[in-house]
Amino acid sequence: MAYEKLARFMLLPAMLLGQNSKLSDAAQKLLTKPRLGSAQLTWADGRTQKGRIVRVTDRFIAFETSIRPPACENVELSKVAAVQWLPGAGDSAAQVALLGALLAPFYVGNAVADPFKRISPPLKPLRGSWVLNGPSRGALKSSLVFADVRKGDRATVQYRTITSKRGRWSVEHDLLHLTFDGEPDLVSSFHFDCGELILDNPPNKFREGSDRKRATPPIVGYWLTSNYHLDLKPDGSVIEQKWEVRKGTFENTSTSVKMHWVDSTGPGGAEWVAPIKHRHILVSVGGVMTEYHYVPPGILVDL
């Protein structure tokens, strides 16, 4: 089910003031304090069903039944008569757990504080996470991750990058428009499938990772896939993030590391040779020098 123009979203709180008075107490409580988890839902027509509330918006809730096979439907708030929470019911923490699960592969150790930077990195063999030293260059963030070597295996390395950009979004004629400076508009039809946002161009299926204090319009949210995130904000702004991972093997001494990449057409070609100086790996790609410092495990931060 798609929705109308951004202007309508901006006016929605005022438009719903009169409508909210007609909603049940349970529906109004969900509007002001969204909650997820196991529940018995009662419809306005008297029907009841046990299942899970997996998403709450200011128009509908996404309800997954406990019958087999499970079915899921978007239930309009006006049709919600009562919600009885069942033992084990979760709340917005479930969304935080989802966000963490999706982002975990792209998180690395945090050594922002100077004391961590002074820790001697493991060089024989080289291993662990190394992040770009100092502020990120423009919208690009990156890290190098060296894997522990198992007996009989070659040492592996991953070059992980995140690119971010800001723009505007709007909805017109059931189409989502994404506008970024200097780029043509991205236009896609969309619909909601239970707790998921489905974009048709290019095809993408998103789960929401927002932890919201109040219900918002259905299109608003922090939408996640494994390597592509869209943060559609209520004011019409958007932040897009894309992850890419380059894989390869490496060998190193205490003073340098040679990385061989599977894809020879990536930045810097098929092989990087980087000196190791003062606990930093110095990578030169296209004449641009970047420094990566080691971060100890157990302290997490976004790239």
Put simply, whether the predicted model's pTM sits higher than 0.75 gets the answer no
- Residue pLDDT, tens place only, 204-232: 999 998 877 889 999 999 999 988 999 99
Structural contact between residues 62 and 55, judged by C-beta atoms closer than 8 angstroms = yes
Q: Where do the structural domains in the chain lie, given as residue ranges?
A: 6-91, 103-161+244-302, 163-243
**What pLDDT was estimated at residue 104?**
47
**Tens of pLDDT along 6-51?**
444 444 444 444 456 689 999 999 999 999 999 999 999 999 999 9
Give residue 22's pLDDT: 87
pLDDT band of 150, cuts 50, 70, 90: low
Q: Percentage of residues in the chain with pLDDT exceeding 90? A: 58
Is the predicted pLDDT of residue 268 greater than 50, yes or no?
Answer: yes
pLDDT higher than 70, residue 126? yes
Of residues 99 and 244, more confidence is placed in 244
Q: Is the pLDDT of residue 129 over 60?
A: yes
The CATH class of the 6-91 domain is mainly beta
Q: Write the CA distances from 45 to 19, 38, 48, 81, 190, integer angstroms.
A: 19, 21, 9, 8, 30
What is the rounded average pLDDT of the residues 272-295? 93
The CATH number for 103-161+244-302, chosen from 3.40.720, 2.40.128, 3.30.70, 2.60.34, is 2.40.128
Buried/exposed code over 153-190 (b: 16+ C-beta within 10 A; e: otherwise): eebbbebbbbebbebbbbbeeeebbbeeeeeeebeeeb
Least confident range of 151-155, 184-188, 214-218? 151-155
How sure is the predictor about 132, in pLDDT bands with cuts at 50, 70 and 90? confident
